[in-house]
Homo-oligomer: A and B are copies of this chain.
Amino acid sequence: MPEPRTRVAVVGATGFAGALAAAIVARHPSLELAAITARADAGRRLDDLYPRHRVRMELEHFEPESIAARADAAIVAYPHGAAAPAVRALLEDGLKVVDLSADFRLDRDRYERWYQPHEAPELLADAVYGLTELHREDVRAADLVAAPGCYPTAALLALAPLRELAADAIVDAKSGVSGAGREATGTTHFVSVAENVNAYKVEGHRHRAELDRELGEAFPLTFTPHLLPIDQGLLASCYVTPTRELSAHDVREIFATAYAGEPFVELADVPPGVRDVRESNRCRIHATVEPATGRVLVFAAIDNLWKGAAGQAVQDLNLMLGLGEAEGLT
């Protein structure tokens, strides 16, 4: 007799990340998609909104008790601020939760500096930052995991192995438009984006708070996001001045050691393109040294909706539930 599948609800399933999370759960061999919720679109079927995901399930209004009666775990894909109360309700009902918003990624101080007053500060102490490659054991033991932002995912995987060796670092990050969410705005209008590229929020993007927290502000860090005319994909080009001379070989060794055995980190001999990881949960990294300056260059490519959001959430959930980390993700 096959083991019963763990029942998972996706709360807020109509955004890009939530919808993909629902699709991944629906196809997952050990999970069962128990419910999907929406605010404006309750009553519609998810495959009407996203034909390609083929999730033939009706969206319902979010009622925590109703969800709790039918699910063992939840992925919450609400905007920041709205997520915290939903997460609290689900935790109180005994579910394990992966939250895709910023609400549980930061300590309270950083959160309130970059976002707004926190709606559920009492939960912060037990929330685990769900970058599996850095916090695997904590994720395994957690009831509440905050899935990292898309930019921090790529930047941290690029920088973490160099944390003790960096005198400073610059992250020039480039994201596809799906990272800006499903809301139609001047910024996401096709005519604004096509045949264009520009930096934005250059005087401070909120995702830097995650970098600061995880890297400990041990060295000056510049972080500049750019918007690209692609739908999915994110590339972090990182420039690190090392505290001591490193050869390209040294750098390769550092990364090979840091990520040995990682199921979703792939080291490449050439700079990765985001196409290489499209629709996959992998982070593809090339690390080398620029001969002219001795500066360490690290390029990390992810699919912002997979490893940068929904895929990573399922990776977290797999660990929290004692499943294989890569189950349902390959």
Contact = CB atoms under 8 A, between A and B. Distances in A.
A274 B197 contact: yes
Interface in A234-288: 235, 237, 239, 241, 268, 271-280, 284, 286, 288
A134 interface: no
Contacts of A16: 191
Interface string A183-216: 0111011111111111110111000100000000
Contact of A198 (B186, B221, B235): B235
B190 A182 contact: no
Contacts of A200: 271
A176 B191 CA distance: 9
A240 to B, nearest CB: 10
A256 B274 CA distance: 37
Interface residues of A, number: 69
Contacts of A292: 204, 208, 220-222
Contacts of A197: 174, 228, 230, 233, 235, 273-274
Given A190-B194, A195-B278, A220 B293 contact: yes
A329 B220 CA distance: 42
Contact of A195 (B51, B275, B288): B275
A299 interface: yes
A293 B221 contact: yes
Contacts of A268: 51
Contacts of A182: 189, 191
A102 to B, nearest CB: 18
Contact of A194 (B170, B230, B237): B230
Q: Which 3 A-B pairs have the closest CB atoms?
A: A198-B273, A51-B276, A184-B184
Given A229-B230, A232-B195, A271-B198, A222 B190 contact: no
Interface string A289-317: 01111110101010000000000000000
Interface in A17-61: 51-52
A226 interface: yes
Contact of A177 (B190, B203, B208, B239): B190
A231 interface: yes
Contacts of A204: 290-292
A233 B228 CA distance: 12
A192 B177 CA distance: 10
A194 B16 CA distance: 15
Interface string A54-90: 0000000000000000000000000000000000000
A101 interface: no
A172 interface: yes
